[in-house]
Amino acid sequence: MVLKKAKRLWDRVKNGANQLSNEESPQSELKIVPRDNHPISRKDISSPALKVLYRLNNANYQAYLVGGGVRDLLLGLHPKDFDIATDAHPEEVHGLFKNSRLIGRRFKLVHVLFGREVIEVATFRGHHEAPALSANQSTSSEHGMLLRDNVYGTMEEDALRRDFTVNALYYCVKDFTIYDYANGLEDIEKRELRLIGDPETRYREDPVRMLRAVRFATKLDFTIAPDTEKPIFELSSLLGNIPAARLFDEVLKLMLSGKALKTFRMLRHYNLFGQLFPATERSLKQGPERYLKLVEQALINTDERIKQRKPVTPAFLYASLLWPALEERWEKNKSSGTPPFPALQQAAQKVINIQCKSTSIPKRFSLNMKEMWEMQLRLPRRNGNKAAQLVAHPRFRASYDFLLLREQSGEDLNGLGQWWTDYQASDENAQRKMSNSAREHGPRPKRRKRRPTGNSRSSTH
Ligand code: ATP
Ligand code: MG
C-alpha cells in the first residue's frame, strides 16, 4: 500500500524534475524537484528537526534535511532520525543552540538535543584531495582511508562526499524543493544502492561503507548496483583498520535493525561477517550444523522481538553470536583436563578478549554475557532450594531464554528448557515438589580425591 503510494508519487517526481546542468562543476547534474512533484510534507518531519532548520535559515545560513530522513520519507518509511546539512560551521551552529554539543574528531558535528531526540547537524564537506596541511583538514592513511575530513565546502561538494546516491538528497524547508546532485531519485525508483564516485576509492576511504551497503540493502530491500557490489569481496579485510569501538556500534546498527537474519546472511556472502566475528566464522565453518542454527535462530528471535517492540540487549546478541566459538574452546579446555566451570570461565575470557580486537564489547555487556554463559552450567542444578535461588538471579530470564535457544538449535539437554518453563508456571507447592524430585542433568562429577599436600585446585561448585 505504502509502496503503491510511493510509486504513484514517483511518477510525479520523474515528470516534474527540473534538470539544471551545473556550469561551475561538471561533476554533477543537479535536479531540482518542486513541492508538487514529490511526496515529502513538513508534517512528516519531526518538530525538533524543523526548529533546527528554521533557526539556521533565520540566521541566514543554508540548511537542508539530508540523508536517511529524505530517503526514507521518499520511500514511505519512518526515518530513524533526521540529519541536517548546513553551511554554518560547527562552532556557529553550537552558538545558535544552547541545547547542543560539539562532537566527533574524525567528523566534527553538532548534536542538538531535544529530550531524547538528537538532531545531527553537519557542516557541508569539501573535497579532500588537497594536500593536508593541518589537523583541521583531511588526512588519509597508507590504505587510502580518511582519518579526518573536516574540510568545509559547498553544498554540491558535500553531496558528492556522501556515500550512496540515495543518501545525497537535500530537502529545503524554505521552498519545499528537493535537490538531487547524484541521481539519487532515479536510484530510489530503481531501488538500487550505488556509491557516488569510484567504488574502490570510496571503500578504501572508509571501509565501513561496505557494512553500510549491506545495512541499507536489507533495511530498504534494495539491490546493490554491480559496480558498487564487486569490490566488497576483495576489500572486506580493510575493516581490520577500523577502530573496534566503531565496529561495535556498526554491529548493533546491523543486527538491531529488525532485519538481522537477512543482514547476517548477506554479511557472510560478502566475506564481511568473518571480519567482524573471526572466531565465530571459523566455528561456523568447522563445527556442527547446530552452530549456524543457533546463530540464525538468535537473529530470528531478535527480529521478532523488535517487531513486537520488546527490548533487545547487545549482551544477549553477542552471547549468541559468540556461543559457537565459546563452546568449542570450552570443550577444548575440558578435554585437556580443566573441570567444567573453570574451563567455561577461561573460555569466556579468551573468546571475549579475542573478539574485542575486532569489535569492542563494553564491560557492562561482557559481564552480562559471562553471567549468561555461566548460568548455562548452573541451570541443570536445580534440586533443593537451588531452583528458587536461580530464578531470583538478575540474569535468570536471559539465561533461560538462552537455554531455550540452545535447544531450539538442536542441542539435546534432556528437556531442561521445558522443566524451567513448567517450574515458572507452577505455584510454590508444585515448585517445591519439582525441586525435590529434580535430578541434576548429566552424571554427577566425581569427587576429587584430596591431595596429601596443599595447593589443591577446587572447582567452585
Ligand atoms: P539511518 O539513519 O537510517 O541509519 P542514514 O543514511 O541517515 O541512515 P546516518 O549514519 O544517519 O545514515 O548518516 C547520515 C548521512 O550522512 C548519510 O545518509 C550519508 O549521506 C552521510 N554519511 C554517513 N556515513 C557516511 C560515510 N561513512 N561516508 C559517507 N557519507 C556518510
Ligand atoms: Mg540518519
> 361 by DSSP, 3-state: which?
coil
**Length in residues, the chain:** 461
Higher pLDDT, 363 or 2: 363
Ligand 1 atom closest to Cα of residue 67: 18
- Whole-angstrom distance, CA of residue 183 vs CA of residue 177: 15
Q: Are 170 and 179 in contact (CB under 8 A)?
A: yes
Calculate how far, in angstroms, residue 281's C-alpha sits from the geometric centre of ligand 2. Answer: 30
Q: What average pLDDT does the segment 414-441 reach?
A: 87
Calculate how far, in angstroms, residue 114's C-alpha sits from the geometric centre of ligand 2. Answer: 16
pLDDT band at 17 (very low <50, low <70, confident <90, very high): low
CATH number of 4-190: 3.30.460.10
**pLDDT value, residue 388:** 87
* 98 grid coordinates: 544552547
The 10s digit of each residue's pLDDT in 117-168 is 999 999 999 876 544 334 445 566 777 776 666 689 999 999 999 999 999 9
Calculate how far, in angstroms, residue 319's C-alpha sits from the geometric centre of ligand 1. Answer: 28
> What DSSP designation does 43 have?
G
Q: Are 71 and 169 in contact (CB under 8 A)?
A: yes
Q: Is residue 258 in contact with ligand 1, taking CB distance under 6 Å?
A: no
Q: Are 3 and 76 in contact (CB under 8 A)?
A: yes
Residue 309 CB neighbour total at 10 angstroms = 6
- Whole-angstrom distance, CA of residue 162 vs CA of residue 168: 6
**pLDDT value, residue 13:** 54
pLDDT at 12 over 70: no
**pLDDT value, residue 456:** 38
pLDDT band at 115 (very low <50, low <70, confident <90, very high): very high
Class of the CATH-defined domain 288-437? mainly alpha
- Whole-angstrom distance, CA of residue 179 vs CA of residue 127: 19
**pLDDT value, residue 457:** 37
Q: Which of 72, 78, 83 to mutate to test the pocket of ligand 1 (most atoms within 8 A of CB)?
A: 83
User: What does residue 172 show for φ and ψ, rounded to 5 degrees?
Assistant: -100, 125
**pLDDT value, residue 23:** 44
Q: Can you tell me which residue has the cell 552558538?
A: 95
Calculate how far, in angstroms, residue 30's C-alpha sits from the geometric centre of ligand 1. Answer: 20
Determine the Cα angle at 114 with ends 67 and 109, to 5°.
Answer: 45
Residues designated catalytic: 81, 83, 163
- Whole-angstrom distance, CA of residue 70 vs CA of residue 172: 10
- Which residues lie near ion ligand 2 (Cβ < 5 Å)? 67-68, 81, 83
pLDDT at 4 over 60: no
Calculate how far, in angstroms, residue 167's C-alpha sits from the geometric centre of ligand 2. Answer: 9
**pLDDT value, residue 29:** 84
**pLDDT value, residue 151:** 83
Sheet of strand 18-21: strand arrangement: 18-21, 29-33, 178-180, 169-172, 63-66, 83-86, 117-123, 109-114, 100-103
Q: Which of 140, 167, 238, 246 to mutate to test the pocket of ligand 1 (most atoms within 8 A of CB)?
A: 167
> 325 by DSSP, 3-state: which?
helix
Q: Are 350 and 313 in contact (CB under 8 A)?
A: no
**pLDDT value, residue 16:** 56
Q: Is residue 210 in contact with ligand 1, taking CB distance under 6 Å?
A: no
Q: Is residue 106 in contact with ligand 1, taking CB distance under 6 Å?
A: no
The 10s digit of each residue's pLDDT in 439-454 is 654 444 445 555 554 4
pLDDT band at 178 (very low <50, low <70, confident <90, very high): very high
Angle between helix axes 278-286 and 340-358 (nearest 10 degrees) is 120
Longest dimension (CA), the chain: 91
Q: How deeply is 429 buried, as exposed, middle or buried, from its count of CB atoms within 10 A (0-12, 13-18, 19+)? A: exposed
User: What does residue 430 show for φ and ψ, rounded to 5 degrees?
Assistant: -65, -35
Give yes or no on whether 4-190 and 288-437 have one common fold.
no
The 10s digit of each residue's pLDDT in 348-376 is 999 999 999 999 999 999 999 999 999 99
**pLDDT above 90 coverage of the chain, percent:** 78
From the list 219, 220, 196, the residue with the least C-alpha distance to 209 is 196
pLDDT at 383 over 90: no
Give every CB contact of residue 367 below 8 A, 6+ residues apart in sequence: none
- Whole-angstrom distance, CA of residue 183 vs CA of residue 164: 10
How are beta strands 139-140 and 146-148 bridged, if at all?
A: antiparallel
Q: Is residue 163 in contact with ligand 1, taking CB distance under 6 Å?
A: yes
CA nearest ligand 1 atom 8, residue:
68
pLDDT at 25 over 50: no
CA nearest ligand 1 atom 1, residue:
68
**pLDDT value, residue 445:** 45
How are beta strands 117-123 and 169-172 bridged, if at all?
A: unpaired
**pLDDT above 70 coverage of the chain, percent:** 84
What's the pTM value of the predicted model, to 2 decimals? 0.88
pLDDT at 32 over 70: yes
Q: Is residue 81 in contact with ligand 1, taking CB distance under 6 Å?
A: yes
Calculate how far, in angstroms, residue 212's C-alpha sits from the geometric centre of ligand 2. Answer: 12
Q: Can you tell me which residue has the cell 546478541?
A: 317
Which ranges constitute the DSSP H helices of 61-136? 68-74, 90-96
- Structural domain boundaries in the chain: 4-190, 288-437
Q: Are 39 and 74 in contact (CB under 8 A)?
A: yes
Q: Is residue 360 in contact with ligand 1, taking CB distance under 6 Å?
A: no
- Whole-angstrom distance, CA of residue 352 vs CA of residue 374: 14
pLDDT band at 105 (very low <50, low <70, confident <90, very high): confident
The 10s digit of each residue's pLDDT in 259-288 is 999 999 999 999 999 999 999 999 999 999
Q: Are 84 and 64 in contact (CB under 8 A)?
A: yes
- Which ligand lies nearest the alpha carbon of 66? 1
Q: Which of 162, 170, 179 to mutate to test the pocket of ligand 1 (most atoms within 8 A of CB)?
A: 162
Q: Is residue 67 in contact with ligand 1, taking CB distance under 6 Å?
A: yes
Give every CB contact of residue 436 below 8 A, 6+ residues apart in sequence: 383, 384
pLDDT at 239 over 60: yes
